[in-house]
Amino acid sequence: MEKLDGKKLSSQIKNEIKQDIDKIRSEGGNIPHLVAILVGHDGASETYVRNKEKACIKTGIKSSVLRFEADISEKDLLSEVAKLNNDSDVDGFIVQLPLPDHINEQRIVEKIKPDKDVDGFHPVNIGRMTLGMPAYISATPFGILTLLKRYNIKTEGKHVVVLGRSNIVGRPVSILLGQKATPGNSTVTLCHSRTENLKSITASADILIVALGKAEYVTADMVKQGAVVIDVGITRVKSGKTKSGWKLLGDVNFDDVAPKCSHITPVPGGVGPMTIVALLHNTVAASKQEIYKHQHRP
């Protein structure tokens, strides 16, 4: 069994991005600028934004965070989005989800200009991704694809089973791996809470991607011998053994499943760090106008 070490790989990719940014700087080019909007004080969102900032600093990408209290109105948040859309100094921005209940997330996401939507959540980017056109691909699916590619895991002709059909993980990764591309060319089965005979489907997977949000749900009897297992899940549980008093669990029971796998991602240190570098990659692509030939940089 080989561990798919997202921590190590993401650090390597951050070094590659840093070299790219150093070159841009030495040539007097535009330094990519990523902005995150953070509303309220959700612990997981704060951590994600902090990690993103750290990764930006490490690579030389300019990073800003706009913080708002949880009682900001939808109208005021929309006007912040409009300001960033029109700010020629900003290459890409994200609105960290979830937003408070009184704000309609979809309405906010749809107001982000697709050429600055480095999270790849706007319907235009999702539509373009689905059609195989150039698009910002949302960070977690992109991170998973990068992990598979860099570890030379063959996806062509393989049966990929995805557990979970969310718009940010399960559905896009199932679309991407089904496309005529590399990584891709897989035969994909997308499972969800209404799937019947789940165990018999997962046990036929060459590559099993799990994004449920149910700690240690996948056990060895659900996995084929020699399978590749990608665990996206992150559940924070109390722990007496860590300094913080918390530990993170994946959706896969690692100790039970790992001996059966050819490759498996740990949690933490698997998909999580790859998600961050995918966002950085999209930001650099935005600044270089690789996806859209837009005008925000004169």
Stretch that binds ligand NAP, among 111-119, 191-199, 238-246, 255-263 (CB under 6 A): 191-199
Determine how β-strand 207-210 pairs with β-strand 159-163.
parallel
Q: Which residue is nearest to ligand NAP (CB)?
A: 166
- 83 catalytic? Reply is no
Under the binding rule (CB under 6 A), the answer on residue 234 touching ligand NAP is: yes
Binding residue for ligand NAP (CB under 6 A) from 114, 170, 178, 266? 170
Calculate ∠ Cα 85-46-163, nearest 5°: 90
Under the binding rule (CB under 6 A), the answer on residue 194 touching ligand NAP is: yes
Residue among 222, 209, 205 at smallest CA distance from 159? 205
Question: Measured between alpha carbons, how far is residue 25 from residues 10, 22, 92 in Å?
Answer: 22, 5, 18
DSSP 205-267: -SEEEE----TT-B-GGGS-TT-EEEE---EEEE-SSSSSSEEEE-SB-HHHHGGG-SEE--S
Minimum CB distance to ligand NAP smaller for 90 or for 118: 118
What 3-state DSSP class applies to 197? coil
> What contacts 153, CB < 8 A, 6 or more positions away?
183, 207, 228, 263
Q: Which helix (H) or strand (E) holds 123?
A: helix 123-130
Under the binding rule (CB under 6 A), the answer on residue 38 touching ligand NAP is: no
Binding residue for ligand NAP (CB under 6 A) from 141, 164, 172, 178? 164
Q: Is 185 left (phi over 0), alpha (psi -120 to 50) or beta?
A: left
Taking the complex as a whole, the smallest distance from the CB of residue 187 to ligand NAP amounts, in Å, to 19
- 96 catalytic? Reply is yes
Calculate ∠ Cα 108-69-52, nearest 5°: 70
C-alpha 65 chain-centroid distance: 19
The single residue of 14, 91, 96, 113 carrying the catalytic annotation is 96
Cβ(94)–Cβ(279) below 8 Å:
yes
- 224 catalytic? Reply is no
Under the binding rule (CB under 6 A), the answer on residue 120 touching ligand NAP is: no
Taking the complex as a whole, the smallest distance from the CB of residue 12 to ligand NAP amounts, in Å, to 18
Please give the biggest Cα pair distance in the chain. 58
Binding residue for ligand NAP (CB under 6 A) from 103, 271, 284, 286? 271
Under the binding rule (CB under 6 A), the answer on residue 195 touching ligand NAP is: yes
Stretch that binds ligand NAP, among 7-15, 98-106, 164-172, 258-266 (CB under 6 A): 164-172
Binding residue for ligand NAP (CB under 6 A) from 169, 227, 286, 291? 169
Under the binding rule (CB under 6 A), the answer on residue 96 touching ligand NAP is: no
Stretch that binds ligand NAP, among 55-63, 64-72, 80-88, 229-237 (CB under 6 A): 229-237
Under the binding rule (CB under 6 A), the answer on residue 213 touching ligand NAP is: yes
Residues engaged in binding ligand NAP (CB under 6 A):
140, 163-166, 168-170, 191-195, 198, 211-214, 232-235, 271-272, 275
- Catalytic site residues? 52, 96, 119
